[in-house]
């Protein structure tokens, strides 16, 4: 394709498997775009698709994508809009065949291609025999030492297979486990004829892809200051207008809800990130070089992004069956809440022959009661008991029956909000690395053509410099301070990274960021988030975004599918941290026009 094009408009219509079904039609009919993308895959989704293949070997892809394609395919072909999606999941070839059948029923003849080469399940024994231990990225334990039987193993591929498919004339590109950002990188590399080592341009596309991959999270969804946005309509889905140099403008169709501002984009930039080096198969994008500016209403420019050579290793998502789990929630009302919880746990322990005989027993008392409540709901707390075991019968009907056995002899006012007769299977996520040289992705066309995906030059990734330790940071508060929720000054976006959780926090002014950077070190983060008190926490600074990013290692255990934490993907973690009261200089609140009349004031003294 020639490089005379000045902009490539890429509109995303899906952030997960189950997102708004009408979004594809809204994106295609709402205004001009050149490429329609959809992101359907997450670590949990791979397990969901594996389960679907157990019922039907021809399944294993996101079925909702077919419905969306049916609504827009004719229009896309008429307007020359390419469709690129990772909805292929575990069976991209199967989904490509279904689209071909769908097109035939509609009387259409699109050129369809799919990408292969991510599925490593059958190769795991030979890879281990060749000296690749597939060690867990969090624990260092090898897959062999774990002694588990993986059910899925998929390498994260990049965008060059997509680019090759588009060069080959594909109207629709069905992808397996490519990285989310690759859905933007591939079309951009195709449209502008980028070289394999155009690191800065590729890095800019990675950032744009990361921003739009979760749909309306870039246009006001899950946004800390949502009350400041226009009320009424649902947030529209985002569009990335990519320029030949890799810079981009994030926008949305006119008339759609939400807003595109520097802060809504900042929030999404911070989502599910770790170090400021964001590793992708095609490039390492330096998030500490990102510059955001408000170009116009609902138009935010991303510029200045720098890239480093692609890493010589690829991430692999391995999943294995972890066993079975079941939960019960007991409602505790009124007085003696802790005694009632203890009574219940002891009764269950006796009825089940010992909670310590299960593979895992997670007991959480969630205190939501208040003194002298004005309504019965305000007097309630909840005891949540979760059991895991390889034996389904132990945590299924036996657990349910034990709850019935203790019912009449339970604590005063006992009632059970949730209890299931059957246990559910759960999977465990195992992240690992293999050399990129072990991968050979290919593009497969419906007419039988096979094209190897271009392979970028790679270099060993040296790692990001060690995060700032708490002891190296100074803390100075000058003048009067006010005890207010941290969220008066700071926005947050949090999410899961396997068993880890990230909390990205951004300040709303330069002065607020100067204070935040000095104030919020690892030790104080642990004070605000007690669950992290015994966990490893990394802290990273992104001054150009006025942001800090914390990575809490191990908070989610074995990942979203296996964790017993009530918020398994850490979605609310950032908002919890924002709710914690801290001592803030009153002048910062005055600068923002934030009322503080009801907050407690004091004169600050240095903390150290």
- Residue 367 to residue 385: CA distance in whole angstroms: 14
Angle, CA 513 vertex, CA 511 and CA 518 arms, to 5°? 105
Q: How many CB atoms lie within 10 A of CB 397?
A: 15
In tens, the pLDDT along 327-373 reads: 999 999 999 999 999 999 999 999 999 999 999 999 999 999 999 99
Q: Which of 371-385, 456-470, 553-567 has the highest mean pLDDT?
A: 371-385
Residue 25 reports pLDDT greater than 50: yes
Q: How many CB atoms lie within 10 A of CB 309?
A: 16
- Residue 134 to residue 125: CA distance in whole angstroms: 11
Residue 593 reports pLDDT greater than 70: no
User: CA end-to-end span of the chain, whole Å?
Assistant: 61
Q: In the predicted model, what is the mean pLDDT of the chain?
A: 93
In tens, the pLDDT along 511-568 reads: 999 999 999 999 999 999 999 999 999 999 999 999 999 999 999 998 888 888 888 9
Task: Report in angstroms the alpha-carbon separations of 136 from 43, 315, 434, 503.
Answer: 15, 11, 11, 22
Residue 407 reports pLDDT greater than 80: yes
- Would you put residue 304 in left (φ > 0), alpha (ψ -120 to 50) or beta? left
Residue 597 reports pLDDT greater than 70: no
For 325, the enclosing helix (H) or strand (E) is strand 313-333
pTM, to two decimals: 0.93
Q: How confident is the model at residue 470 (pLDDT cuts 50, 70, 90)?
A: very low
Q: How confident is the model at residue 232 (pLDDT cuts 50, 70, 90)?
A: confident
- Residue 561 to residue 41: CA distance in whole angstroms: 14
In tens, the pLDDT along 190-199 reads: 999 999 999 9
**Sole residue written with tokens 């007419």:** 447
In tens, the pLDDT along 138-186 reads: 999 999 999 999 999 999 999 999 999 999 999 999 999 999 999 999 9
- Identify the pLDDT of residue 112: 98
Bridge partners of 65, per DSSP, are: none
Phi/psi at 70 (nearest 5 deg)?
-60, -35
Angle, CA 503 vertex, CA 501 and CA 504 arms, to 5°? 140
Q: How confident is the model at residue 602 (pLDDT cuts 50, 70, 90)?
A: very low
* DSSP characters over 107-164: T----EEEEE--B-GGGHHHHHHTT-----TTT---HHHHT--EEEEEE-B-SHHHHH
In tens, the pLDDT along 60-98 reads: 999 999 999 999 999 999 999 999 999 999 999 999 999
- Identify the pLDDT of residue 592: 67
Which has more confidence, 359 or 591?
359
Name the CA dihedral angle for 486, 491, 492, 493, rounded to a multiple of 10 degrees.
170
In tens, the pLDDT along 237-272 reads: 999 999 999 999 999 999 999 999 999 999 999 999
- Identify the pLDDT of residue 596: 39
Compute the average pLDDT of residues 496-503.
Answer: 94
Residue 471 reports pLDDT greater than 60: no
Q: Within 13 Å of residue 175, how many CA atoms lie on the same side as its CB?
A: 32
Compute the average pLDDT of residues 387-396.
Answer: 96
Residue 37 reports pLDDT greater than 80: yes
Burial class (CB in 10 A: 0-12, 13-18, 19+), 457: exposed
- Identify the pLDDT of residue 560: 87
Residue 603 reports pLDDT greater than 70: no
- Residue 596 to residue 582: CA distance in whole angstroms: 13
Q: How many CB atoms lie within 10 A of CB 134?
A: 23
Compute the average pLDDT of residues 92-105.
Answer: 98
- Identify the pLDDT of residue 1: 44
Token pair listed for 107: 């009387």
Q: What residue ranges define each of the domains in the chain, with the CATH number in brackets?
A: 8-118+156-311 (no CATH), 321-427 (3.30.70), 471-603 (no CATH)
- Residue 207 to residue 292: CA distance in whole angstroms: 11
- Identify the pLDDT of residue 451: 97
Q: How confident is the model at residue 43 (pLDDT cuts 50, 70, 90)?
A: confident
């Amino acid at each position: 394709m020639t490089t005379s094009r000045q902009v490539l408009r890429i509109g995303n219509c899906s952030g997960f498997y189950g997102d708004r079904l009408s979004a594809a039609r809204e994106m295609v009919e709402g205004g001009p775009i050149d490429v329609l993308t959809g992101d359907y895959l997450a670590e949990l989704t791979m397990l969901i698709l594996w389960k679907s293949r157990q019922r039907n070997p021809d399944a294993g892809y996101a079925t909702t994508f077919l419905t969306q394609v049916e609504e827009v395919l004719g229009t896309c072909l008429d307007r020359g809009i390419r469709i690129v999606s990772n909805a292929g999941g575990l069976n991209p070839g199967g989904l490509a065949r279904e689209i071909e059948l769908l097109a035939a029923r509609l009387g259409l003849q699109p050129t369809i291609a799919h990408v292969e080469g991510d599925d490593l399940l059958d190769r795991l024994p030979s890879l281990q025999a060749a000296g690749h231990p597939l060690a867990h990225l969090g624990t260092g334990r090898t897959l062999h030492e774990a002694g588990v039987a993986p059910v899925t193993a998929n390498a994260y591929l990049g965008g060059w297979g997509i680019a090759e498919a588009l060069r080959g004339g594909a109207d629709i590109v069905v992808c397996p486990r490519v990285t989310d950002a690759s859905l933007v990188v591939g079309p951009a590399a195709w449209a502008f004829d980028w070289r394999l080592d155009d690191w800065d341009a590729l890095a800019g596309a990675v950032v744009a892809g990361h921003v739009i991959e979760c749909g309306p999270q870039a246009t006001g969804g899950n946004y800390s200051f949502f009350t400041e946005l226009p009320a009424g309509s649902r947030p529209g889905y985002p569009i990335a207008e990519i320029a030949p140099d890799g810079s981009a403008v994030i926008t949305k169709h006119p008339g759609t809800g939400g807003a595109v501002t520097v802060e809504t984009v900042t929030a999404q930039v911070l989502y599910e990130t770790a170090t400021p080096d964001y590793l992708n198969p095609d490039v390492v994008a330096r998030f500490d070089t990102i510059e955001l500016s408000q170009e116009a209403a609902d138009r935010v420019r991303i510029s200045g992004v720098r890239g480093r050579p692609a890493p010589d290793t690829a991430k692999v998502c391995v999943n294995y069956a972890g066993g079975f789990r079941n939960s019960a929630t007991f409602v505790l009302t009124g007085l003696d809440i802790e005694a009632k919880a203890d009574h219940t746990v002891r009764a269950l322990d006796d009825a089940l022959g010992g909670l310590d005989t299960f593979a895992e027993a997670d007991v959480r008392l969630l205190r939501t009661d208040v003194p002298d409540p004005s309504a019965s709901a305000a007097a309630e707390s909840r005891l949540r008991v979760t059991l895991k075991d390889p034996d389904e019968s132990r945590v299924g009907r036996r657990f349910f029956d034990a709850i019935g056995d203790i019912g009449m002899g339970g604590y005063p006012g006992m009632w059970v909000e949730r209890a299931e007769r059957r246990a559910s299977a759960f999977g465990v996520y195992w992240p690992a690395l293999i050399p990129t040289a072990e991968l050979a992705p290919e593009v497969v066309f419906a007419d039988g053509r096979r094209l190897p995906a271009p392979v970028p030059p790679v270099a060993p990734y040296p790692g990001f410099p060690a995060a700032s330790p708490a002891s190296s940071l100074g803390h100075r508060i000058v003048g009067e301070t006010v005890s207010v929720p941290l969220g008066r000054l700071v926005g947050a976006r949090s999410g899961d990274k396997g068993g880890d959780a990230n909390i990205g926090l951004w300040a709303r002014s330069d002065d607020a960021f100067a204070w935040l950077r000095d104030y919020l070190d690892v030790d104080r983060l642990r004070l605000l988030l007690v669950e992290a008190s015994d966990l490893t926490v990394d802290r990273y600074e992104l001054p150009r975004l006025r942001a800090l990013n914390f990575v809490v290692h191990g908070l989610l255990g074995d990942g979203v599918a296996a964790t017993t934490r009530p918020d398994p993907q850490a979605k609310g973690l950032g908002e919890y941290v924002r709710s914690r009261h801290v001592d803030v200089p009153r002048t910062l609140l005055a600068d923002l026009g934030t009322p503080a009349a009801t907050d407690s004031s004091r004169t600050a003294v240095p903390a150290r």
